[in-house]
Chains A and B, each alone.
Chain A
Amino acid sequence: MKKLVIISVAVIAVIAFFAFRTVRGPETIEVLPVSAGDKVEVFYFHLTRRCVTCQAVENESRNAIEALYPEQVKKGNVSFTSVNIELEESKAVAERCKVTGQTLLVLSGDVRVDLTDKGFMYATTSPEKLKAEIKKTIDPLLIPVK
């Protein structure tokens, strides 16, 4: 038994030694300038069966967009759409967005920003952070190129 514990600890130590050499690089979001006419579309793709966090991602994102951009939403320049990816009628929009699973996506012209990880990280515990991420992504897209 003791041997077994020692071997397990040794294996974990070796894995940890190699693994900690892999350091995460800085995250980059590619934001290209877009024309003033481009709308900002936010999509939340989900499955038929949804967990608590999955529902929170949709609710918090929708609330954030409605709170941050009420005028643009009214004018139709910024939109939020929730799509059940398992339905037949959603196939076209999923293909257009190049999505196959649960995704929180911001689209505008050539710009495509995937916020899924941020959505699932922040929606239930700190929705204000998700709101800040959405703002950080959408704000530059609303400034027309001179």
Chain B
Amino acid sequence: MEFLLKILENTQYSALTALVLGLMTAISPCPLATNISAIGFISRDLGDRRRVFLNGLVYTLGRAVTYVGIALIIYFGASQMDISGWFQKWGEKFLGPMLIIIGVFMLDFINLKLPGFGSLTEKIGEKGRRSYLNTLLLGMLFAMAFCPYSAVLYFVMLIPITVASADGLILPVIFAIATGIPVIIFAWFLAYAVGNVGKVYSRIKSFEIWFRRIVAVLFICVGIYYIITVFF
């Protein structure tokens, strides 16, 4: 962290500032919990390394959508103070219940059928295009969960240099990539390591089902952690 702060202090390049702020966000204790959940979520298709890597990129894209979206809203005149205040107040509060809901559906215990939408459980776990959409939405959702520290990094340090000029709107993208890099690397590494073990024992499919359940429990645990720390 000290090393990153030194770069932050001495750099004149706003791109490097955005990169460092993103890395600081990714490794700070609070967003780490969401990142660990994300690693589990995007590694759920353990047998397919390419898919895991793509999921990592899509997750990062989701984060970028949120960060750029908020920056655009402020750039086009919304009050930075109001938006920052709202996210600081509510960003973390909705995350806990949301994680628990996602976790419960991933566990397959409740199979909710919505008219016109089919099974919700299938949608959260299923493969294919919808799976990428879920990952994109997860990235967007997790990026909205501003913790006290990450809110300062984004709203106080990144937004002022972002909204200063139109060129600056690229900075939230760099920030998002930096917050997503550790997730992509860990998920890919996990898929690579476990994927090889799976091949040896030819049991990857059953392992995948169990891994998915572990991820679901992880979501529920992280959700409970957030509810306890935020509300009690």
Contacts and interface: CB of A to CB of B under 8 A. Distances in A.
Partners in one complex: yes
Interface of A: 1, 4, 8, 12, 15-16, 18-25, 46-47, 49-54, 85-86, 98-102, 116-117, 120-122, 124-126
Interface residues of B, number: 50
Contacts of B147: 51
B12 A24 contact: yes
Contact of B5 (A16, A24, A49, A121): A121
Highest count of chain B CB atoms <10 Å: which of A4, A16, A47, A101? A101
Nearest to B86: A100
9 contacts: A19-B170, A20-B15, A25-B164, A51-B30, A53-B28, A102-B148, A102-B151, A120-B152, A121-B157
B173 interface: yes
Interface in B110-167: 147-149, 151-153, 155-157, 161, 164-165, 167
B146 to A, nearest CB: 9
B29 A51 contact: yes
B17 A24 contact: yes
A117 B17 CA distance: 13
Given A8-B57, A22-B15, A49 B173 contact: no
A30 to B, nearest CB: 15
Contacts of B82: 100
B50 interface: yes
Interface string B9-33: 1011111111000000000111000
A22 B171 contact: yes
Contact of A121 (B8, B86, B167, B173): B8
Nearest to B85: A100
A85 B85 CA distance: 10
Contacts of A121: 5, 8-9, 157
Q: Which 5 A-B pairs have the closest CB atoms?
A: A100-B85, A19-B15, A101-B88, A100-B81, A22-B14
Contacts of A1: 49-50, 53
Contact of A52 (B29, B49, B151, B152): B29
Nearest to B50: A1
B193 interface: no
Contacts of A20: 13, 15-16
A51 B222 CA distance: 17
Interface in B57-100: 57, 81-82, 84-86, 88-89, 92
A101 B171 contact: no
